[in-house]
Structure 1
């Protein structure tokens, strides 16, 4: 695809297609019966410098009819060479050597305003080579969930894929029941996963792994090309990004739900929002995925799984790192030096982020106990994770008109001892820091469910649109007085979410 300054007739960038077709298969979207707009992210469209025929702007936010045709899969422009990617993956710990994009089709790559290459992908646009017995379609529910959550994550500062468009197809999708179909247009720095490397290693050997690794270094980490061992440095870099990503998730109470290796981006972005959710009341062992019966991907396990996934990545690259005549034991020892750095790296990132959540700019090692004691109080007394942290700001400037963290406790005296310790660690800058890093609102699971139910049952998108508007400014204090800031009542709590495949 072209930038705004280039002729709109040029073909889209297809850098991934420079790799052998071992890594992908041609694909073509299936027609949508009666496409209609659900949402279009005109701000993101402008950042991506889309061709004029697809563009919208803040001044003219309504996208073109041609854009509806493209993002519904009904038209494939001459500048697009659509394909689906091949990958493997460990799913809940079990290796599947042949997965791939079963319902995702890459339209093109674009250069955004910052000069960064971005993938533009249709999700839910029909069958591909990798669909197996699936229909390649998506019900409207997962599309609305991913749109809301991914765009909120962006506003929260979390590395993430983005939602460019959502289109109702007019087709029915059959799961446990017939549901309205929809397509999400997803944007990512790339869709290359740990599972992509696993696919290369299992089916193509060292040559294919090298081709993919060289491409990833060229596209994402060109500074590594000059390193003494760029492939070992690639592992270290992916490790750092995954540690940072998961620390950010944890600081927001976010649970991904399916941290399979095929859902782990080598660029360190949150990808594949399936049975994901933000916690309401704090519970370390919280699980939201209906199929995660043993809690593998629970909140507390996320940093452990992230290290496990990076280890699988290292295994795929091992032969590229091996020195001439190097024995397995020596190779393993060198890899272990990098992989064993994950937990210290993560723990420092965790401490920094959680210290900021309670208003501490420069944390000490002793602050870990202060934070852990607060989390224990939250868990014991079922305190809302988001409000519990955000309302600490009001503890520093209390008045009769504002709610405080103390108010969340049925027995406030149980919180007062911790508060006394905490007040000795904060200063005049702490209130602003607390409000800067702790959102006032999150995409609450029960509100998402209501929006999905309205859209599925009657086509009413009013609640979805209202949520989307509010979630553009999640840190704004004005939201604290709204319904969205409040945790669900007991009858509204949702224990499970679903991926929609």
Structure 2
């Protein structure tokens, strides 16, 4: 077998960090999709991966030389309730590679069979959730949002039993690491300070080497994770993304979006929007994502307390001071992002009020989030009122539009320059939920993967006009609306 240059640092940590386990072989693997560009970035041979030996590895039917298959241990707060042991129940980390840019990346199989953490589950995944994660993670990458990536999707030739029998599949995920807030919680719950220190040192070396030389490296680590999460959540909010299941075991220490289960993008703007079928009380609604991120970070800070100071009271004060910076970091990033979405390159005292007024007008007018910002840029040159057509409350929108144009007059950008700026941050194409569901339906019911391929091609260039693909920009018609998404992989 052609060697993959694995270098598995996490597997060199003590055995209590993971369980060694091999994937379970499947009956008749068939490649759905290989991300050849990503494979090349990782220093892997796409032709080998598409061949019989590569397919066997991606399906879990063979172990590549140098791999150290493990299921990682972690705990987590799930919808506010703490579970002291979760872990990879249907995912196996094959190992790590150092890519062509010198970045260490995990290669993990999801849906590859049971592990010691499966909690009576079958460890498998259905094709629908695999396609959803492939589509949305690659769309997020194209949108410039830090994210795990999709290397491959494989049909297993077997069925999995959920509410019905569904085609089974395996997803190959690439991540900067799979270390979560819940990983720290796992050891904190066991009062294993030695493991906490080892884990923190590992994360510093791997993700935040710049803090290693600071006087208080574990505080600097906490501050770095807080800053990364503030930036990430702001990026979500700026594109209307709803993660759907922001449990602490689904929040990456690396500041990447991870675990695309019941996620979705908003159509009509409403901060109360929820898609997750299991989020009955809206804990993880779009507008709740910033405070939930802070709540999660507070759980991380709690886990790190023994490393911050030997004095418990002093440690709490240190942690709280760090957490108090989250809101300012988040708001600064969010407001700067909305300024750019509105084509503004300077700061004015009333910008926050202008942004707030637009969002409130969008909510009352049931305007599409993505198209509102895109068409504002379109109308700068076209002289049209296509954005106005999105609003049920056109009079209120006209009033806001006048305020915006007055604000634009305070700057010297030409209309062409401003449109270029706006189109560079306001996508035209997002992975709309009804499009994803149509892809899944075609795959499950007809074994037709052509819609999957076409949607991937569209989403690869989200900021570009794509003549002939205008239908992909449109929100769902009433009969196409998808009101609930489900955990799957």
Instruction: Please give the TM-score of this superposition, normalised by the length of structure 2.
Output: 0.96
Q: Secondary structure at the match of 1:448?
A: helix
Two-structure CA RMSD over aligned residues (Å) = 1.6
Task: Report if aligned partners of 1:92, 1:296 keep a CA contact under 8 Å in 2.
Answer: yes
- What is the deviation of 1:302? 0.2
Out of 33, 36, 40, the position equivalent to 1:39 is: 33
Q: Report Cα offsets for 1:271-305 as digits up to 9, x if no partner.
A: 00000000011011001100000100000000000
Structure 1 position 419 matched with structure 2 position 369: no
Q: CA deviation at 1:399?
A: 4.7
- 4+ residue runs over 4 A deviation: 7-11
- Residue 406 (1) aligns with residue 388 (2): yes
Counterpart for residue 197 of structure 1 = 184
1:380: which partner in 2? 364
Which runs of structure 2 are paired with 1:13-412 in the superposition (5 Å)? Answer: 13-50=7-44, 52=45, 55-56=46-47, 63-323=50-310, 326=311, 328-399=312-383, 404-412=386-394
Is the contact made by 1:138 and 1:182 (CA closer than 8 Å) also made in structure 2? yes
CA distance in 2, matches of 1:12, 1:212: 20
Specify the SS of the correspondent of 2:95: strand
Distance between the aligned counterparts of 1:10 and 1:378, measured in 2? 50
2-structure distance, mates of 1:275, 1:316: 27
Query: Can you list the C-alpha shifts for 1:222-245, whole angstroms capped at 9, x where unaligned?
Result: 111111100001000000000000
Q: Which runs of 5+ in 1 are unaligned?
A: 1-6
- Between the aligned partners of 1:434 and 1:78, the Cα distance in structure 2 is 48
Distance 1:161 1:482 in 2: 28
Q: For 1:422 and 1:112, how far apart are their aligned partners in 2?
A: 45
Contact 1:440 1:479 in 2 (8 A): no
Q: Which residue of 2 aligns with 1:4?
A: none
TM-aligned CA deviation for residue 414 of structure 1? 2.5
Instruction: Deviation per CA, 1:69-99: give whole Å up to 9, x if none.
Output: 1101111122211111000000000000010
- The 1:56/1:359 distance shift into structure 2, 3 A limit, reads farther
CA distance in 1, matches of 2:3, 2:487: 38
Task: Provide the residue aligned with 1:494 in structure 2.
Answer: 482
Counterpart-to-counterpart distance in 2, 1:274 and 1:409: 31
> Which is worse superposed, 436-445 or 420-429?
420-429
Question: 1:104 & 1:363 partners in 2: Cα distance?
Answer: 46
| Higher mean C-alpha displacement, 72-81 vs 344-353 | 72-81
Q: In structure 2, what is the Cα distance between the partners aligned to 1:186 and 1:56? A: 18
2:50 partner SS: coil
Does the Cα contact within 8 Å between 1:194 and 1:261 map onto a contact in 2? Answer: yes
Matched-pair contact (CA < 8 Å) for 2:8–2:97: no
Q: Deviations over 1:87-145 (max 9, x none)?
A: 00000000000100000001110111100000000001100111011000000010000
Q: Which moved more, 1:464-473 or 1:328-337?
A: 328-337
Q: Give the distance between the partners of 2:467 and 2:397, measured in 1 at CA.
A: 25
Q: Return the alpha-carbon distance in structure 2 between the equivalents of residues 221 and 341 of structure 1.
A: 18
Partner of 1:475: 463
SS of structure 1 residue aligned to 2:318: helix
Alpha-carbon distance in 2 for matches of 1:251, 1:480? 27
**CA-CA distance at 1:321 after TM superposition:** 0.7
Separation in structure 2 between the aligned mates of residue 333 and residue 76 of structure 1, nearest angstrom: 48
2-side partners of 1:182 and 1:371: how far apart? 43
From the superposition, tell whether residues 9 and 283 of structure 1 become closer, same or farther in structure 2 (CA, over 3 Å).
Answer: closer
1:365 is displaced (CA, Å) by 4.0
**Distance between the aligned counterparts of 2:393 and 2:224, measured in 1?**
46
Aligned residues: 483
In the TM superposition, what is the alpha-carbon distance from 1:411 to its structure 2 partner? 4.8
In structure 1, C-alpha distance between the alignment counterparts of 2:373 and 2:68, rounded to whole Å: 47
Point out where structure 2 has 5 or more consecutive residues left out of the alignment. none
- Residue 407 of structure 1 deviates from its aligned partner by 2.1
Report SS of the residue matched to 2:172: strand
CA contact (8 A) 2:31 2:50 kept: no
The worse-fitting range, judged by mean Cα deviation, of 165-174 and 203-212 is: 203-212
Residue aligned with 2:421, SS: helix
C-alpha separation in 2, matches of 1:280 and 1:10: 42
Measured after TM superposition, the shift of residue 425 of structure 1 is 2.2
